[in-house]
Amino acid sequence: MQDEARPPPACVSKVLDDDNLLTEIIVRVGFPTSLVHAACVCRRWLSHASDRAFLRRFRELHPPRLLGFYLAQSYPYNAARFFPMLPQPPELAAVIRRTNFSKKEGGTMVGCSNGSVLTRRINFSVLSLTNSVLAYELVFAVHSPLCYDNDHGMAILPGLQFTMPCLHNWAQLFSKEEGDGSSYFYVTVEDTMHYRMNVYMLQTGDDAWHKHLTLGSDRLLHPQSRPKGVLVDNKIYFATDNAIVVLDLTSSILSTIQLPHGVGFDLGTTMLSRVDDGSGVYLIHIKELQLHIWLHNGDNWLLVDTICLSETCAGLLEDEPTADIQINHVGDYNGFVFLEMGRSALYLDVRRRRLCKVYEMTTEEKCLGNIYPLMMTWPPIFPTLRPARFAF
């Protein structure tokens, strides 16, 4: 019988005992799931895999991966269904299986962020029977379908209450990871006598939302419901009829960015995307099958890319109505774009110049709905030094 405790050959020990060679091996495992498995070998491997400089290098070599997308439709399904981006490597099969999470608390999907899914439920109530004061409460839930641990599979955020009538011309939930926790910002724009913006904030450990700031400004004129706003560092960017409004959460100052020449925020033609280093925003604009990608960094717009969709995949577009092609969702850091064309959803890999059909509506479906891409969680959640369950 082979001795299981027999030490490894000298050549293996020579490699594994050399920290420089060991990190060169681990950094090439390819997937965050494999990185977590490597970190479970021993404390020394965990120390290398969780080092910040190592993680920065790993991310540069292996950018966060798109696992698939949720399609949220109010009719006929009244639910969000997950569709994996195929093909996926066998190493991620177990991760893909966990994407169809159970929505025990119900609610409508409102977004995906770094492997988490955000849903919203509305509760109505009566505050005063005498004066017939009605109110509603927004309850957001954060689902973590990629976690092994069911105890960390869903977190219910404290409710956010409003008194009716409360008319929001524009409202959106933003999330931001900070250290070991997250901050959430719910931003509304109201049109009473004048346009007014309210920002409600919830940080890790808080038992209630608090109003972070209230601003009134003519810069908020006619905020658009689409495209969605983006949170970059401590600034929120969102669109109005003729400009991009920037809210600095630190200084509580509103400013505007004029659009590039010839670009407008018509429905479905323009969306914003974050820049990886937090220095600005991308603006993605489609017109007559030409996809233009602009970068705002500093005070100027720079046209960084133009993609002709008819040349990217001419056969896919031959028999489809292309006059009403629209942008449904833009991935962070300008990596990919989901498009609507007729009754189909298309996926465009910006860097590889690949366009493919990922969904086609059934005869029962009246509209495509909202697409929410699900990315692999980054950074990975490593095991603690004591025995514990962990993500992936």
Buried b / exposed e over 335-368, threshold 16 CB at 10 Å, is: bbbbbbbbebbbbbbbeeeebeebbebeeebeeb
Q: What's the CA dihedral at 335, 319, 74, 156 to 10 degrees?
A: -10
Q: Is the pLDDT of residue 304 over 70?
A: yes
What pLDDT was estimated at residue 390? 47
Contact 339/325 with Cβ under 8 angstroms?
yes
Q: Is the pLDDT of residue 199 over 50?
A: yes
Using 50, 70 and 90 to split pLDDT, how confident is the model at 283?
very high
CA distances from 331 to 82, 134, 267, 282, 328 (A): 17, 38, 18, 10, 10
Average pLDDT of the residues in 273-282:
85
Q: Where are the alpha helices (DSSP H) in the chain?
A: 10-16, 19-26, 32-39, 43-49, 52-61, 93-97, 309-312, 314-317
What pLDDT was estimated at residue 207? 93
179 compared with 275, residue with greater pLDDT: 275
Task: Give 63-375's CATH code, choosing from 1.10.10, 1.20.120, 2.120.10, 2.40.30.
Answer: 2.120.10
What pLDDT was estimated at residue 381? 83
The per-residue pLDDT for range 145-180, each reduced to its tens digit, is 887 554 457 889 999 988 876 667 788 999 988 777
Question: How far does CA 225 lie from the centroid of its chain?
Answer: 17
Q: Is the pLDDT of residue 388 over 50?
A: no
The per-residue pLDDT for range 320-347, each reduced to its tens digit, is 555 578 999 999 877 899 999 888 999 9
The tokens for 65 are 């991966």
Q: Where are the domains of the chain?
A: 9-54, 63-375
Average pLDDT of the residues in 90-102:
82
Nearest to 319 by CA among 303, 341, 339: 341
Compute how many other C-beta atoms are within 10 angstroms of the C-beta atom of residue 43. 9
Detail the DSSP E strand segments found in 145-275.
Answer: 154-156, 160-163, 168-178, 181-191, 195-203, 210-216, 230-232, 235-239, 243-248, 253-258, 270-274
Name every residue whose Cβ is closer than 8 Å to that of residue 245 and which is 6 or more positions away in sequence: 219, 220, 223, 237, 238, 239, 254, 255, 256
214 compared with 321, residue with greater pLDDT: 214
Q: Is the pLDDT of residue 204 over 70?
A: yes
